[in-house]
Structures are given as structure tokens and as C-alpha cells.
Chains A and B, each alone.
Chain A
Amino acid sequence: MISGRRWRGWMAMTTLAVVMPAAALWAQHEERSVRAAFVYNLTKYVEWPHPGKELVIGFVGDDAVGETLQKVLASKSSAERTIRVVLSPSDEGLQQCDLVYVGYSSKEKVRSILEKVRNRNILSVGESDHFTLDGGMVGLVRMGDEIQIQVNLAEVQAGGLKISSRLLNLAVIVGSRGGN
């Protein structure tokens, strides 16, 4: 089990990660921080079939978001896996990721990225409101003051991943629209 000292350390970090998005202020950087925390928390509700020592998070899209992700998540660990954030990885590098955060909102860009990570045990997370409809697995879609979690279960299952039912309780389950 974790010792008391480590426990306090975790607490501080988690507090930082989780509570911030719940604040009333809704500024750009706040949203980015919230998203980073959501991503981090998301890793805890997803089960990968062959988890390695590292949990590699690839980021494509707006750099600001990627930086925030890196800042928030770097050197953290989830389920005893050290988190490594890779900004704008190469296609090859993209396929090495466990989680790919797609910061684009254009359908074409999203689809091209999804195309590369499909069926590879890679959890795809996006932020556009049709991300899950476009074949993404988990969408963190801003709805007013909140971020709604959308899950495309079919894609998740196709990717060989399992998402905790507790998360699913919170999420809006969507199906793929068109595509493959």
C-alpha cells in the first residue's frame, strides 16, 4: 500500500488536477487545465489489454492545450504507470501511444488521426462536439460551463479497451455516424 507521505503527495496533486476545472471561472487556460485533469482521470477508468510500464499520451492539435497537458500530466503516474506526454508525435510515434488526445476540431484532421490509431489498443480522446460521431472513443465536449463526457462504446470495444462502468454512468453514450 502507499505510505502516508505518498498519500499526502497524491492528495495535493489530485486536488490540483480534479478541483480546478470545477471552479466558477471559465477561462481559456482553466478549460485547458480541466481537460488535462479529465484526461488524467480518464486513464484511471480505462483498462488497456497490455499495459506497459509507461502510459504514453500523444497529443495532436493546439499546442497550448498540449503544453498544459504536458505541464499537468508529466511525470505523473496512473495505475502505477508513469505518464509520458508526447506532443505532436509522428505517425509511428502516434501508434506507440496508449492514449491520443486529438486537439483538432476539423473533421478531416480528426479522421486522419483516428485512421492511424484505430484498432491499436489506443484510447482516442477528442474535444470536438462530433468527435465520437466521427469514430473517436471519448469526447470531452464543452457544454456551457461543463465538459460533457461522450463515449463511443463501439469504438472503445473495437480498440480492445474497457471503460469502467462508473465512468460510463457519467458519460453520454454515442454511436459512430458513418465512417468505418
Chain B
Amino acid sequence: MEVPWGSGLGAKITAVVLAATSIAVGLLAGALLLLDWRSSRAMLQSRLTTLADVVGQNSTAALDFSDKPAAVQVLRALRQEPPVFAACLYDARERLFAEYQREPGIRSCPSSRAQLWPEGRDVCRVVRPVYRGDELVGMLFLESDLEEVEKRARRLLLVAGGLALASLGIGGAAGSLLQRRVSRPIFELVRAMEEVRARGSFAMRVEVSGKGEIALLGHGFNNMLLELERNEEEKKRAEAKLQVQARTDALTGLPNRRLFGEQLAQSLAAARRESRTVGLLYIDLDGFKLVNDSLGHVTGDRLLCEVASRLQSRVRQSDLLARVGGDEFTVILTTLNRRGEGELVAKNLLDTLAKAFRIEEHEITIGASIGISIFPDHADTPADLLWQADSAMYAAKRGGRNRAAYFRPELGALVRERLNLENQLRRAIGQGEIQVHYQPEFEVGTQRLVRFEALARWQHPTLGWVPPSKFIPIAEESGLIVPLGAYVMERACMDALKWQGIAPQPVQVAVNVSSVQFNQESFIDEVVDVLRRTALPPKLLQIELTETVMMGPVERSAQKMKRLRELGIGLAIDDFGTGYSCLSYLPNLPFDALKIDRSFVKDLDTKPETIALIRSLVGLAHNIGMRVIVEGVENQQQMDVIRELAANEIQGFLLGRPTPDPMALLAAHAGRAGVTGMLDGGAGEPTNKKDESARS
């Protein structure tokens, strides 16, 4: 929008008013002067005519009697009339009779009337006949200058000029008044606009009075400001909303990673000022991936919401719970009074998650691994603190899940090692570095070798044997457990088929299946496929699951187990008593065997009350039709006790260490027809060395 006004409005208005005034005054003065000039001339003419007539009358006798001096005398009376500068009296024969000059130097009258000079522009002249009665006796010529008229005109001009000046003054005053009424409001608008621009706020308004166009402009300006202000507010609201959205997890409504980062930095800064201690919990859900994979994202999302609300209910007002990843949460404990408080909170959180979740028709159990790091004990920057909490969380996960762990300096190295190992494991699976070793299991009553448990072993080209306790968690966390498990299962099934001709009775193979692997949608199909390819009868395969399989969608897991059982495959629960040890679900699941964790056996030496525990476990298992397998039997005393406890099968270094070549053992066993000696009490293969668990 262009406003085609170069200079100020005020100056413009004043100029216009002045110009209009000048033109009006000029025209008026001009017209007056012209009219007056004309009327003055006319008056002069008329006066001269009268004068000429009077003088003529007074000259008649002089003419009649040729009395020139008398005529001169009469003409001299014209001295009383200053404008008249020349008079010529001619007789009836048009010859000069008498003349008059106002002052010397004025040209004298010509002797004949016919020779009179032409009338100039700046003179007024009359030529009047002189009558005596009816008789023409002469001719009087009068010429007057216009000085009087001009003087009058000058005076008039002066007056007009004065009036014009006065008018201009009044016009100027009127202009400035008009300007004040027109342009001052506009200037105020301009000033208001400047202020709006300078302050960047649309909150101000101009004061508007009256009803004129300027007032309309003012109202329009105010309305525009109002509109702008509304837009601005809307924008601000939208921005604020975006701010909130940008810092809020859309699913759970919790602060997101970004807001968490900001809050953590603030908390640390505040804590540094006030010499306070801040705790950071890094929570990773155990088994959430299984839920997501098996029940779908919708259910997974709902579960996350439930988890979030439960966690929130256990977090203090001053603490900040945030969701920083898919199934990862953090809690900033802004004020820690005691060092142990972090663990307390973590325990509290684990407790609240322990109760099964009910999502739609699914009952879902979920755990969490929590890493704890403390400012300023462990780190003094937000990034380090977070990294350390994360490391501690991994440590907790590796430590058996569903627990909390403090950060320890060596965890940093652990995490690095983990990353390194993960990459190497990925390669190892493809390059045959993974071997399958077998550890025998015997039936207590018959002392027969009933089964080999397949155990994955990793022979690293430079590190040598990598313990399963190191690489299995990594495989589980990275998902490498799926190809690893599939490889072990296929290998085990192939090997198991070879055993059958050697032993007098069928020998089962037990394959450990990680819950990650088990929860794969295609798990059943893959098992069926392996059995078909290897031609191993399903009843010779026993799949061992850990308690972590109970985390996540219990029904779905139960269905899968049923399907396996329908195929004829044996199903054992492994490492029982370490994890959730929730006995309530056992009757509902189609396990046909229960493997008591080696830790119970280990405690037998030191804690005699363990016997009762194992006894009741065995009783319970038997009651619901499950066999009981005891693992980790390492010495004769343990062996004796277990035999007392009526466990069905046993496994341990005392009876046989994992071996890459089970055929030899099988052959030897077949040859000796059992390990009766050992079972009876003879230490056939003494085991002093405490090795890592055979669990894979």
C-alpha cells in the first residue's frame, strides 16, 4: 500500500490553506484594485468633465470679448485641482485662446486644437465644448495625470497587502489548527505504531475521541492491534502448546527425553549450588519387547501407560519421572538424604510393577531393571550421570533382571566390553565360533542317562572361551539370541538323533530357549521345522524356559507351551527359584518338568533349612504332575540329600561336565550300564573346580 504523500501532512495542510488564502485574497485584491482603478478613473473623468464645464462657463465672457488674460485667470483656478496638469482653451475657430500648465516644463498647448497630442495611457483627458447658452464659443481641453488615482491605487494596494498578510496569518493559524486536528492524531497513530514496533507488543491502544475519519482511522488502528494481539496470543498459545508437546511424551503424558535433559541439567546445577545429592534412576522394562511383539503395539502402548501411571504413583512430588525411550524411563531424585535412598525408591518402583497388569483380556507380568547413579558421587555432568545410570541398568539386567544396581566404576568398562562383545558375537554366530556342548542328566531312580542338556559355548579366536554368563545376556539384549538359539537347537537336534543308536534307551536333548526367542511369533513353526529337517522325534526334545517367560503375555505363552506339548515336546522350567518364583502360575502352565536352580543346591551345605524348601518344591511339582530336576550337584553330600528329597532327575559336575563329545560318555555309559556307582556314593569323577553354571 503506497501513500503518495512525500512530505508531512501538517506542512501540506498549512500549505494548502495558505495557498487557498493567498489565491482568494489575491483575486479579491486584484478585482478590487481593478474595479477601483476603473471607478477612480471614471470619477476623475467625471470630475474633469465638471471642471471643464465650470471653467468653460467661466471662460465664455473672456472668449466673447477676447479677453485672454481673463481666460488665463479663469484657467489658473485649476491650480486648486492638482491632478490637472494642463488645460487648453480654444476659441470657436479652434485656435488656442488660453492655456494653463501646472508647473513649468509641461509642454504647452498647440496653437490649433487639431494639433493636440494624442492621449497617453497614463493621463486622463477631457475635451469639452464651451457654450454660452446654446452657442458654442470654444473648446476646453483638460488633461490630468493619474497620480491621484495611482496614489489611491497604491494605498489600496497597501491596504490589500496588509489584508492579505493578515489573511495569510489567519490562514496559517487555521492551517496549523487544522493540522493539529488532522495530523496530530495521525502523528499519534504513527507514534503508537513506532511504539508497537519498538516494544513488539500489541497490547497498547490509542485514545480515540470524536466521530470523524481520523477517529475511524484510530478505531481501525485499535482494531488492527486487537486482531494482531489476538493472533499473537494464539500464536503464543500454539507455541506454548508446541513447547509442551515438544517436551511431553505423547503416549504417557510424561516429560520426554528433551524435558528430562533440561530438568536434569537444572537439578544438577541447583544441587551443585546447594551441595545436594541427586540420584538418577534408569529404568528399562524387562520383557516389554515380548509384549509388543506378541500382542501388538496397541497393547504395548497401553501397557506403557499403565506402567507410567504406576511408576508415577510411587515417585515423590519433588522427583521427576520421564519416559526417555520405548520402554525406558528415568527418575530424577532431586534430593537424596541418604545414599541408600536411591535403592529404596528403585525397590519401591520394582514392587509396584510386580503385580500383573491387566490389559484388555491379557494378564501381563513385567519386570524392570533399574540402574542408579548418584551426583556428585559418580559423575558431575548430566551426560555422564545418564550414561552411568544406563550402564548400571545393564548391569542389573545382566545380574538377572528385575533388580536395581548402583553404578560402579568398572561398569563403564563392562559396557564397552559389552559393545565389543556384541559385535564379535554377531560375527561368531556366522563363523562357527559357537559350539554346542552337552551336559548329561540322570534319572535318580534308575540311574540311567536320560538326557543331554545342550549348552552354547563360544570359543573366541583370541579371548578363548567366553563364559555364557557374559555373552548370553548380550545376545538377549541385542536380539542375537534368536539366531544363536536357532543354531543351538538345530545342532542339538541333529546330534541327538546320532545318539539314539548307541544308548540302550532313548536319550533326550534339552535345549534352553530364551524368552526372547520363545516369544518370537514364528517360534513354534521353527521348532516344527527343525524337527522335520533333523527327523528327531519330538518326544526326544525338551525345551527349557526360564521364569522370565512369565513376564509379558502369560496366556499367549501358555498357548505356545500347550502347542509344544501337543507336538510331544517336553517342557521344563529352568533355574526355578531365582526369578519371580511365582508359584501361582505353575498349575496353569503345561510344564512337565521343573529344574530347581543350582543356588539351592549350593546352599545345602551352609543352610540346612534349604532342604525343607526343596522338599516342598518337589512336593508341589509332583502334585501338579511335574518332574523335578535338580541341577548343580557337585558333591556326594548334595547327591545324598537330593536322593532323599525324591527329585526325579539330577545334573551336575559330580555326574558329568558339559562335553563337546557326548558320544564317548554315552558309549561309556552304555558300556557300564549306568552311573550307579556314582549315584550310590562313589566319587567316579571328582569335581573340585567350581565352574560357571552350565546354564545357557
Contact = CB atoms under 8 A, between A and B. Distances in A.
A19 B95 contact: yes
Interface residues of B, number: 21
A170 B135 contact: no
Contacts of B61: 45, 164, 166-167, 169-170
A166 B132 CA distance: 11
A41 B137 CA distance: 11
Interface in A133-158: 146-147, 149
B135 A166 contact: no
B62 interface: yes
A41 B64 contact: yes
B137 A18 contact: yes
A170 B62 contact: yes
Pick the most buried of A18, A44, A79: most chain B CB atoms within 10 A of its CB: A18
> Is chain B's interface secondary structure helix, strand, loop, or mixed overall?
mixed
Contact of A14 (B62, B65, B135): B135
A21 interface: yes
Given A18-B91, A22-B91, A166-B60, A1 B134 contact: yes
Nearest to B138: A18
A38 interface: yes
A167 B95 CA distance: 22
A11 B65 contact: no
A7 B91 CA distance: 16
B181 to A, nearest CB: 71
A15 interface: yes
Interface string B57-68: 110111111110
Contacts of A44: 64, 132-133, 135
Interface in A25-70: 34, 38, 41, 44-45
Contacts of B57: 166
B70 A19 contact: no
A52 B95 CA distance: 35
A19 B92 contact: yes
A10 B91 contact: no
Given A11-B92, A169-B70, A170-B70, A18 B63 contact: yes
Given A22-B66, A22-B91, A14 B136 contact: yes
B135 A10 contact: yes
A10 B95 CA distance: 17
* Contact size range, A: 20 to 34
Contacts of B532: none
B563 interface: no
A101 to B, nearest CB: 16
Interface string B88-113: 00011101000000000000000000
Contacts of B66: 18-19, 21-22, 34, 146
B261 to A, nearest CB: 129
A80 B65 CA distance: 20
A147 B60 CA distance: 17
A79 B92 contact: no
Contacts of A146: 66
Contacts of A15: 91-93
Contact of B67 (A1, A19, A79, A170): A170
Contacts of B58: 166, 169
Contacts of B64: 18, 41, 44-45
Interface string B77-95: 0000000000000011101
Nearest to A8: B136
B129 to A, nearest CB: 10
Contacts of A7: 134, 136
Contacts of A45: 61, 64
Contacts of A79: 133
A19 B93 contact: yes
Nearest to A22: B66
Nearest to A23: B66
A18 B136 CA distance: 11
B70 to A, nearest CB: 5
Given A14-B136, A45-B64, A166-B58, 7 more contacts: A1-B134, A15-B91, A18-B66, A18-B137, A22-B91, A45-B61, A149-B65
18 contacts: A1-B134, A10-B136, A11-B136, A14-B92, A14-B137, A15-B93, A18-B64, A19-B93, A22-B66, A41-B65, A44-B64, A79-B133, A146-B66, A149-B65, A164-B61, A166-B58, A169-B61, A170-B65
Interface of B: 57-58, 60-67, 70, 91-93, 95, 132-137
A-B pairs, top 7 by smallest CB distance, nearest first, are A166-B61, A41-B64, A22-B66, A170-B67, A170-B70, A15-B92, A15-B93
